[in-house]
Structure 1
Amino acid sequence: MTRPGVVRPDQVGYAQLSTADPTRWRATGTAWAGLVGPTRRRATELANDAAALRSQWSGLAATAAEKQVSDLRVELLALAPVAIEIDQVLAEFAARLTVARARLAAAVTLAASAGVLIDRWGRTSPDPSRVPAHRAVQTVAPVTTALRDALDLATAADREAADRLDQLTADAESGWLSRPPAGRPAPHSDPAEVNRWWNGLSPAQRRWLVGHEPELIGGLDGIPAAARDQANRLLLEVRRAALVRRWEELLARMPRGPAEMVGLRAVEAALSGLDALTSRLASPDAPRAYLLGLDVGGEGRTVVALGNPDRAANILTHVPGTTSGLHDATDDLGRAARVLSRCADLAPGQETSAVLWLDYDAPDFLHEAAWDRQAHAAGDALHRFQEGLRATHDDGPAARQTVLGHSYGSLVVGGAARDHGLAADALVFVGSPGVGVQHATDLGVPAGQVWASRAPDDVIRLTRSPGELARHAVLSLSPAAGIVGLLTGDDDQRWFGRDPAEPSFGGRSFPSGRYGHSGYWHPDNPALDGMARIVLGQ
């Protein structure tokens, strides 16, 4: 394999970094990922050819030919996860290069304001017309440090990418795949134990598992994001085929009653949502998406990260609410992406990842959302996912982890924190019907890191606890009086406990404009800045 051009000087230079184009590296990675589909289709064709060969030809020559075809098929199948891995390497290199360039731009801005000159080689000197001689050293030093920080990051990223690509080349010569020893972690195993098992395997053994047991690897918390992404991408065609079969089965039922028509429309919506998600996964746009989980049963579930959370300094886990499913996963992912984009605006020199966590059965209707059964069922899975993020994060300082719940998703987050504990540095609730507790201190994180926002025109403010609803139903003399009573009653209580946006809850709040229940991510809403600053720890 020819390595696609990562240069390895002793140090990335100022001119190199200032002219580097991360989008070209990202596009190169996408081109490699584009080989997966054709490669796997060709492997299927070879399997069909081998079957035809067995039915029409026998003898020693036929056996030898069949073995060659089989070996070639194995090599093609081995190439698929490797192509995804190359895409990951180049995407992560592009991401780190983007951060390095942002730090370089900040250093240049600092130099301009401080009166420091930077030449084409990145050497710094005071501008004698602006900086007195006695202040030269202390003026130049911060700029020199900022430049060095940017160049060091670019150098480290360049060397790491080259090393990873070199390792792939060496593995190609010695064998990309190697069957691992017997014994696998059980589903729902402790993520730290899963991670220790994974780290005890060789790269070739890990690739074998990705290629041969993708359903296991793709769903295990404690497996690094890169490997889960490879496994789940290999399953995309299988998952889509399962949805198509369901659609065909429903379509074949004649006559179709109301239930069959509802089911048919739901499968069509899930197919459309899966196709939209697949398109985002194949996009060369930054940040790269990592598919960490996918289930097409029921309404469909998925976990998608924008940017590799194992490498990020800050991680947002976004838990959506009522009616969420595979059909609109890209919409929810877009909300997480807007927070991520605002984080990049506020702190361009930091790596941040945003994860859509839709790994639970969200309520489909309002009457379902009035009960906590589905939130309670989701708690353990969210707990394990957050523990997995801690276990798989790369060496170095731990990432700041923020978990955000919107609407019913805030009850999922609150219930998980209350019943299981969450590996989180901050919790954020927006448009919440209550989070299952009466006070911020019941959530297991410092009260100063529990945040909430409620728009003035969010309909969630009309929800009341069951006792409050019953009281108004009994005491109201007319429907109008009942409505007035609900609007003027105890504003603290919601369906699932005290409103986390109220001072009596004991957390902290941030403002929102009048953008309704789903408008917290509107570009002009101050709530978007609030969420981003919490993720960054600002």
Structure 2
Amino acid sequence: MVDPAGWRATGVAWAGLVGLAERRSAELVAGAAQLRSHWSGRAAATAEVRLSELRGELVTLAPAAIEVDQVLAEFAARVAAARARLAAAVELAATTGVLIDRRGRTSPDPVRLPAGRADQAVAAVAAGVRDALDLAAAADREAAGRLDRLSAAAESGWATRPPPGRPAAHTDPALVGLWWRGLTPTERRWLVAYEPELVARLDGIPVADRDQANRLLLGERRAELRERWGQLLGRVPRGPAELAGLRAVDAALTGLDALAARLASAEWPRAYLLGLDVAGEGRAVVALGNPDRAAGTVTYVPGMTAGLDGATDELGRAARVLSRCAELAPGQETAAVLWLDYDAPDFLHEAARDGQARAAGEPLHRFQEGLRATHDGPPARQTVLGHSYGSLVVGAAARDHGLAADALVFVGSPGVGVAHASELGVPPEQVWASTAPDDVIRLTRPPGELARQAVLGASPLVTVGELLAGDRDERWFGRDPTASAFGGRTFPSGRYGHTGYWDPANPALDGMARVVLGR
């Protein structure tokens, strides 16, 4: 089979044309402005029209280049899955005594395979080989068809303006999907190219289209941050607050640069940018692999202090779950999403309140509904994973709005806002939790209990002693989800502290991956 890495690299090269198209487009705008100031008359008007046409071609070239990258990346992913399935069939053949020739034909090894078991073993290996080859052939046909349609569109007319009427913000994702499917391919491309702000933020629009729109906006987002940085740097900071603001913008800009580098890399799997906001500490929604094509998707919600400055670190955690899924289920297409689309608490006193979690509930609900609405083929298994304060975000969303999820996972949780797993809207046997033995989150107690101790005049040493004593189930936000009385299920974690659940040696990583796979 072909090498998937070569196709992935080719796609990245196509995506690299976006920057060139944007630079040339800006040059045409500047050139047209210069012409207007020095030239008038019919010839000048004709020249300006032609420059505008050329700029329009460049504007529509950018999303086309991203689309080619998407097609080739998804083709490479499916070829990689086919290779994994073929490798599994070859391993099965080696262990059962089945021979495979260069054309994929199978036969029993007369020395190793007794006649009584030959037919069954040969059939199992042959089915594995056939499945791998069929997947590769289907991937080839699909990619070729998509590229042919792109080529035909480039010749016959790439983009046409759609009719009036756009969904408002926060429209139900199912209705957004209905509207989007009612447009022609050329109308969708026009919206991506000329109204990327609209396409970028609407849940219910397919992942590939949102990725194109958000990538087209990436340069503007960087420019916004740099402008804010310049404004702060241009005046002498007058106090700790302004210095803190300057450091925050610098950290967000560094984080955005790191995220942009990941988006532009040939690293596996391909990253899809589904949301980006540089206001405040910044927000980002990034998928590894295409959730619309995957058989299973995990949405990871990080906790306290999460922001744009650490987005690539959080994305790395999602990637480790995805990597473990690949080890456990070679050949299965799985995707992981970093959902950092809420204002995470920065300080402990903020994390002790649930206001920011409740505010995040509706956006997370809408995002998960969007994944359901845009998925190709049979519904995928959807898992939502929350860490620390992020587990409260997930719990509050499930409790207050409902989540399109087949399983919920909580790690290092201070409570999820309910007393029992049955209150989360999914079967209790699909509610999973893990807390490391040395996770400091075990020290959290209901705020009322701490206040009562303070009123009673308990000394700090007594308070700490009471916090450490016993195995109490109550946390800041309800019962500990790992407690038997909570009614969910648990998986083990080693002693890796509050942030070590993704350590490759921690059994918790294996537990998370198995839940994602439905195992």
TM bucket (normalised to shorter chain) is: over 0.9
SS in 1 for 2:175: helix
Give the number of aligned pairs.
Answer: 519
Q: Which residue of 2 aligns with 1:124?
A: 106
Task: State yes or no: 1:533 paired with 2:514.
Answer: yes
SS in 1 for 2:298: strand
Superposed CA offset, 1:409-435 (max 9, x none): 000000000000000000000010100
Distance 1:138 1:337 in 2: 38
SS in 1 for 2:236: coil
Q: Which residue of 2 aligns with 1:411?
A: 392
Task: State yes or no: 1:480 paired with 2:461.
Answer: yes
Distance 2:459 2:286 in 1: 48
Give the superposition deviation at 1:195: 0.5
Distance 1:476 1:94 in 2: 65
Amino acid at match of 1:78: T
Give the superposition deviation at 1:132: 3.6
Give the superposition deviation at 1:316: 0.4
SS in 1 for 2:52: helix
Task: State yes or no: 1:364 paired with 2:343.
Answer: no
Q: Which residue of 2 aligns with 1:53?
A: 35
Q: Is the 8 A contact 1:476 1:482 kept in 2?
A: no
Amino acid at match of 2:97: G
Give the superposition deviation at 1:473: 2.5
Distance 2:518 2:182 in 1: 34
SS in 1 for 2:385: strand
Give the superposition deviation at 1:218: 0.5
Greater CA drift, 354-363 or 109-118: 109-118
SS in 2 for 1:421: coil
Tell me which of 319, 323, 347 is aligned to 2:329.
347
Give the superposition deviation at 1:35: 0.5
Superposed CA offset, 1:509-531 (max 9, x none): 11111111011111111100000
Flag structure 1 segments of 5+ consecutive residues without an equivalent. Answer: 1-16
Task: State yes or no: 1:492 paired with 2:477.
Answer: no
Amino acid at match of 1:137: D
Q: Which residue of 1 aligns with 2:451?
A: 470
Distance 1:101 1:285 in 2: 18
Q: Which residue of 2 aligns with 1:177?
A: 159
SS in 1 for 2:202: coil
Return closer, same or farther for 1:476/1:533 CA change in 2, 3 Å cut-off.
Answer: farther
Task: State yes or no: 1:272 paired with 2:245.
Answer: no
Give the superposition deviation at 1:286: 0.8
Q: Is the 8 A contact 1:472 1:485 kept in 2?
A: no
Return closer, same or farther for 1:417/1:69 CA change in 2, 3 Å cut-off.
Answer: same
Question: Which TM-score applies when normalising by structure 1?
Answer: 0.95
Distance 1:70 1:238 in 2: 21
Q: Which residue of 1 aligns with 2:177?
A: 195
Return closer, same or farther for 1:58/1:304 CA change in 2, 3 Å cut-off.
Answer: same
Q: Which residue of 2 aligns with 1:307?
A: 289
Q: Which residue of 2 aligns with 1:319?
A: 301
Question: Which TM-score applies when normalising by structure 2?
Answer: 0.98
Distance 1:25 1:293 in 2: 26
Amino acid at match of 1:310: D
Question: RMSD value over aligned CA atoms?
Answer: 1.1
Superposed CA offset, 1:144-180 (max 9, x none): 1111111111011100000000000000111111111
Flag structure 2 segments of 5+ consecutive residues without an equivalent. Answer: none
Distance 2:117 2:321 in 1: 41
Greater CA drift, 45-54 or 137-146: 137-146
Q: Is the 8 A contact 1:431 1:455 kept in 2?
A: yes
Return closer, same or farther for 1:511/1:490 CA change in 2, 3 Å cut-off.
Answer: closer
Q: Which residue of 2 aligns with 1:374?
A: 356
SS in 1 for 2:337: strand
Q: Which residue of 2 aligns with 1:26?
A: 8
Give the superposition deviation at 1:62: 1.7
Distance 1:476 1:150 in 2: 69
Distance 2:23 2:74 in 1: 28
Q: Which residue of 2 aligns with 1:461?
A: 442
Distance 1:90 1:476 in 2: 67
Amino acid at match of 2:255: G
Q: Which residue of 2 aligns with 1:217?
A: 199
Superposed CA offset, 1:268-305 (max 9, x none): 00000000000000010110000000000011000000
Q: Which residue of 2 aligns with 1:152?
A: 134
Amino acid at match of 1:142: A
Superposed CA offset, 1:201-258 (max 9, x none): 1111111000111111001000000000000000011001111111111122335222
SS in 1 for 2:107: strand
Amino acid at match of 2:482: A
Q: Is the 8 A contact 1:97 1:154 kept in 2?
A: yes
Distance 1:456 1:476 in 2: 30
Amino acid at match of 2:33: A
Amino acid at match of 1:143: V
Distance 2:209 2:237 in 1: 45
Distance 2:331 2:65 in 1: 29
Q: Which residue of 2 aligns with 1:297?
A: 279
SS in 2 for 1:101: helix
Distance 2:324 2:435 in 1: 20
Amino acid at match of 1:139: A
Give the superposition deviation at 1:459: 0.5
Q: Which residue of 2 aligns with 1:434?
A: 415
Task: State yes or no: 1:84 paired with 2:66.
Answer: yes
Distance 2:284 2:455 in 1: 43
Q: Is the 8 A contact 1:472 1:486 kept in 2?
A: no
Q: Which residue of 1 aligns with 2:217?
A: 235
**Identity rate of aligned residues, in percent?**
74
Distance 2:164 2:463 in 1: 65
SS in 2 for 1:235: helix
